[in-house]
Every structure is written in structure tokens, then in C-alpha cells.
Amino acid sequence: MDKKDLFDQITEVTRNTEDLLNKLHETQSAMVEIMEENAELQIENQHLRERLKQATAAENEGTKNTKYGLSKSLQNLEKLYASGYHVCNEFYGKHRQDEEECAFCLTVIYGDR
Amino acid sequence: MKFTIARNTFIKKLNAVQRAISSKTTIPILTGLKIEAEEDRLILTGSNTDISIETTISTNDEEAHLNIESTGAVVLTARFFGDIVKKLPDNTMLLEVKDGFQTTITSGASEFKINGLDANNFPHLPEVDSQTTITLKADVFSEMINETVIAVSNQESRPILTGIHFTIEGNKLSAVATDSHRLSQRVINLPEPIKMPEDIIIPGKSLLELSRMLDDEIDTITLQISENQALFTFDETLFYSRLLEGLYPDTSRLIPKESSTEMEFEAPELLASIERASLLSHAGRNNVVKLTINAANKQAIISGDSPEVGNVEEEVVTKDIVGEDLEISFNPDYLKDALRSFGHTSIKMAFTSALRPFTLVPTEDQENFIQLITPVRTF
């Protein structure tokens, strides 16, 4: 293989790589779009479900909203905790390592009041 | 500096001091052991940045056969020096430091020459000038450490939880440790009320080293506290530990005040059951066992299920069950550690709900020792 061939080959490989990179970027931005849409839909879905629950709850009144009788704000904390974050004063907002349970958080959510 | 000493005594003291010396330190002189000969005693010192240990051998000690010919001080690399002293042939050894800290160790037909360092470069031990002195029974304190140190966190990301939190109220000394997954609290009664200026947090690692040094021969141990150091004194040994700075989280609210289900059993029986159940939970991905309590039938069943491996189910021998039915899952390793710390005794386990931490206390003496474990949510 002489020098010219080598040079041509490198140019080609470079072009291919650039193409690939562009495609990767495109796919990435497409993915981000889809994820954003997904998150939006999830939130919307959740709102609709709550709406539905309210509607049905209005029909058969008198039943407590959750099985542990948590208030709305505590339910939010519970949701945060379940998605893997600390909600206790000590480590608020930190990621729970390996999903390990935290006694402080559980006391905040389910503790005596 | 020149002295002769009985090797047995010297090795014993050397081992104690070596606990503080680490070969992996960024400060070279701290890999060394400081030997200081005064008119009537020999002082050995070792230190890392967390703990420092100083011990004294007196010329009055009959077993030591200590004979100091000339005074002085030197720092010798602890690892070599320790190995050399342990392998020397004769019962007595002679150590002599010449110009340039060249040190000669002679015993029987063997002679070592090793290079020492200037003892003036060795860091000074912290000064602890405190009016408060707490005297404790060594065996009780050692037990207290071993019972609480199991719950200390080993994650450096939360430095404050790597320590044991000591507080004094009246004549009660309490020690608490938690890694946020479990908690262990032990209270001991002091003979008389003591005023301690503040609560203190001592690193769990330091206390573990200390408890290993407390053997049967040691009767009492005294504790003094300064701003950032704790000093433990026993026999001729001084043990310094750094204190952890910061506020320890309020742990009293973690312990549930009421319970809906209670279960009584012998610690070794449940320990054996848990050990069997954990054989499978360790093999699986999530390390969890489930406890199912049927209060009406006075029945408690431990089960472990690992889809890839298989499952186990076993009925636990209990003495009594009262309250509501319950299904609760938890990490068996935490319960194993807790049960081991109780030894052979009868235990009361109290639950509030499947989502809240549960507690274990000895049936006798329910006030002074409590272990708390956080359940695992399984949905």
C-alpha cells in the first residue's frame, strides 16, 4: 500500500467516523425529546389518575385516601423516598446508596406525630 | 541512649503501641515508633492522625528487668523493628543509639544495626487538660463499645455517623451508633452523677482498637475530654483519640414509643434460624428475608425467596407473641449482628408496622440496651 492509498483510506475513515458521530448526535437528541415527552405524559397521566380517584372518591365518600392515612405532602415525600432519595433532615436530597433503607427518612414519613 | 530489657515484656508493650501505627501514612515519621529512655522509665509512643498510644515501662517493674544505662530518644520504623524484636534469639535484648541515630539491637549472638530518625521530629501528643474525669469499669466499657460499634457507619461520605455518640445525663452514660439502617444504644449507670460539658462523638475505629486493648487484667479505665481529643488512661497506657466534629442527628425520635406486635424468644434460637435463611438470601440479588407473624396461632415463620436459587421456610421457636398479624421484610445481616451482640439471653422484639423500624431489647433490663433495625420495603 503506497502513501497515497493510506492517506485516502484515512480520509475515508475520518469521514465515516464523522457521519457516525452526527448520527449519534441525532439519535441522542431524538432520545432526549422522547424522554421529555415521556416524563410529561407520566405527569399528565398521574394528574388524570388523581382526578379519576377524586371523582370516584366523591361518589363513595367517607373513605380515607391511603392505607396508611398519609397526608398529601407526606405522600410526596414517600414518592421521593421510593424513587431513591433521602427525605430526612440529615441527608435531604442525597441519593440513597444501593436503595438502602434509611431509618431517619422512615421516621419522617411514617413516624408518630 | 542505651538500655537492656526482658524481651517478653517489651513485645507486649510494643504490640499495644503498634495498634496506633499504620504503614500507610502520608507522614513518613508516623510509620515509626518513638522510644524514649528517661532516668527511671522507658516510654513507647505510636501515632496515626486519628489515635495515639503512649505506654510506659518502669524500672520498678520486676518482670521487665529494665536497666537504663543512658537516657535519650529515637524513632525506629515500627514494622522492621517489631519483626526484629519478635525474632531475636535471647530472653533479653540490648538497644543502643549511637551518632546519627544509628541503632544497634543485640540479643544473644545476633546483632542488628538499623537507621533511626530524630525523635524531635515526632509530633507532640495532644494536651488534654480537663477537669472532668469519668472512671469506668474496663469490662463494662469494652462491652458497651462492642455492642454499639456494630451499628457504626463505614461510609466516609457521612463522617459523623462513623462515630459513637456519648452523652451523660445525671449518672447515666449512654452510647449510640447508627448508620441510618440500624441503630444500637447502650446505657450504663455511673456510680455518681457527672457533669460533662458537651456530648462527644468518638470514631468507631478508635474505640474498636481501644476495646481490643482492654483485656481481663485491666480493671478500670478513666476518660478525660478536651476540645477535640478524648484521652483514655489504663495501667501505664495513655490512649488518645480524635473526636468527630459536628452535630450528631437526634436519634431519640427514631425509636418507636408504641408497638402493635410483640414477640419474645431466645436470641440463639432466632440467630440460628436467620443464619439458615440468609444462606439463600446471600446467594440471590436482594438480600432480604421475610418474617410472617400470625398472632392468633402464636406462630412466626421466617422465609427467604431467591428466584434464581430457591426458597426456604422455617417456623421460629418463640416464647410468646401478642398483638396484630404482621408481615415484615428486612436485611438478615443486620438482625444477625444485633442478635450476636445480645449473646445468650431472652429477647423482646417490638414492631409498629411493616414500614417502620422495629426494636430488640433484652427481656431483663429493657431500659439500657436497644437495637433498632429498618425494614426493607418490598413493593
Q: Do A103 and B374 touch (CB under 8 A)?
A: yes
What CATH architecture is B255-373? Answer: Box (3.70)
Q: Quick: pLDDT tens for B128-162.
A: 877 778 889 999 999 999 999 999 998 888 899 99
Looking at residues B48-59, what average pLDDT do you find? 91
- Residues of A with CB below 8 A from B183's CB? 103
Q: Where are the domains of chain B?
A: 2-121, 133-242, 255-373
B247 touches chain A (CB under 8 A): no
Band the pLDDT of A68: cuts 50, 70, 90: low
3-state secondary structure B300-363: EEEEEEECCCEEEEEECCCCEEEECCEEEEECHHHHHHHHHHHCCCEEEEEECCCCCCEEEEEC
- Residues of B with CB below 8 A from A111's CB? 253, 356
Q: Which three cell numbers stand for residue B365?
A: 433490663
Give CA–CA dist B345/B337, Å, rounded. Answer: 15
Residue A13's pLDDT is what?
95
Buried b (16+ CB within 10 A) or exposed e, B182-200: bbbbbbbeeeeebebeeeb
Q: Do A102 and B374 touch (CB under 8 A)?
A: yes
Q: Do B375 and A103 touch (CB under 8 A)?
A: no
- Residues of A with CB below 8 A from B360's CB? none
**Residue in B249, B258, B377 nearest the CB of A90:** B249
Band the pLDDT of A59: cuts 50, 70, 90: low
**Residue in A90, A97, A101 nearest the CB of B377:** A101
In CATH, B133-242 is 3.40.50.2000: no
- Residues of A with CB below 8 A from B376's CB? 101
Band the pLDDT of A55: cuts 50, 70, 90: confident
Provide the ipTM.
0.73
Q: Which three cell numbers stand for residue A27?
A: 439519535
Looking at residues A44-72, what average pLDDT do you find? 72
Amino acid at B194: I
Looking at residues B71-88, what average pLDDT do you find? 92
What integer best gives the mean pLDDT of chain B? 90
A104 touches chain B (CB under 8 A): yes
Predicted TM-score (pTM) of this structure: 0.80
In CATH, B2-121 is 3.10.150.10: yes
Mutate which of A100, A101, A105 to test chain B, going by most B C-beta atoms within 10 A? A101
Q: Is A95 annotated as a binding residue?
A: no
Residue A113's pLDDT is what?
62
**Residue in A89, A97, A106 nearest the CB of B374:** A106
Give, to the nearest 10 degrees, the angle between helix A72-82 and helix A103-110.
160
Residue A62's pLDDT is what?
43
Determine the distance from the C-alpha atom of residue B57 to the mean position of all C-alpha atoms in its chain, rounded to a whole number.
25
Determine the distance from the C-alpha atom of residue B289 to the mean position of all C-alpha atoms in its chain, rounded to a whole number.
28
- pLDDT at residue A61 is higher than 70: no
Mutate which of B374, B376, B378, B379 to test chain A, going by most A C-beta atoms within 10 A? B374
Q: Is A86 annotated as a binding residue?
A: yes
Q: Do B353 and A107 touch (CB under 8 A)?
A: no
Residue B23's pLDDT is what?
79
- pLDDT at residue B378 is higher than 80: no
- pLDDT at residue B289 is higher than 80: yes
3-state secondary structure B154-174: CCCCCHHHHEEEEEEECCEEE
β-strand pairing of B261-266 with B102-107: unpaired
Looking at residues B52-76, what average pLDDT do you find? 91
Q: Which alpha helices (H) appear in chain B, and where do they start and end?
A: 7-18, 78-87, 138-149, 204-213, 267-283, 332-342
- pLDDT at residue B235 is higher than 90: no
The nearest alpha carbon in chain A to B183 belongs to A103
The nearest alpha carbon in chain B to A101 belongs to B181
Residue B230's pLDDT is what?
92
B335 touches chain A (CB under 8 A): no
Residue B330 to residues A98, B278, B289, B302, B318, Cα–Cα distance (Å): 15, 11, 6, 11, 19
- Asked which of A27-31, A46-50, B201-205, B305-309 is least confident by mean pLDDT, the reply is B305-309
Give CA–CA dist B83/B72, Å, rounded. Answer: 23
Give CA–CA dist B215/B141, Å, rounded. Answer: 12
Question: B204 or A94: whose pLDDT is higher?
Answer: B204
User: Residue B150: which residues within 8 A CB-CB, separation 6 or more?
Assistant: B177, B184, B337, B338, B340, B341
Q: Which three cell numbers stand for residue B187?
A: 446505657
User: Is-contact B237 B202, C-beta < 8 A?
Assistant: no
Biggest alpha carbon–alpha carbon distance for chain A: 87
Residue B226's pLDDT is what?
85
User: Is-contact B190 B134, C-beta < 8 A?
Assistant: yes
- Residues of B with CB below 8 A from A104's CB? 180, 249, 254
A97 touches chain B (CB under 8 A): yes
Residue B210's pLDDT is what?
93
Determine the distance from the C-alpha atom of residue A47 to the mean position of all C-alpha atoms in its chain, rounded to a whole number.
16
Give CA–CA dist B162/B377, Å, rounded. Answer: 25
CA distance A20 to chain B (A): 38
User: Is-contact B298 B320, C-beta < 8 A?
Assistant: yes
**Residue in A89, A100, A103 nearest the CB of B178:** A103
**Residue in A89, A90, A106 nearest the CB of B356:** A106
Q: Given this chain, do its domains B133-242 and B255-373 carry the same CATH topology?
A: no
Q: Quick: pLDDT tens for B326-357.
A: 999 999 999 999 999 988 899 999 999 888 89
Biggest alpha carbon–alpha carbon distance for chain B: 83
Q: What letter does residue A98 receive in the DSSP assignment? A: G
Percent of chain A with pLDDT over 70: 88
- Residues of B with CB below 8 A from A97's CB? 155
CA distance B107 to chain A (A): 55
Band the pLDDT of A66: cuts 50, 70, 90: very low
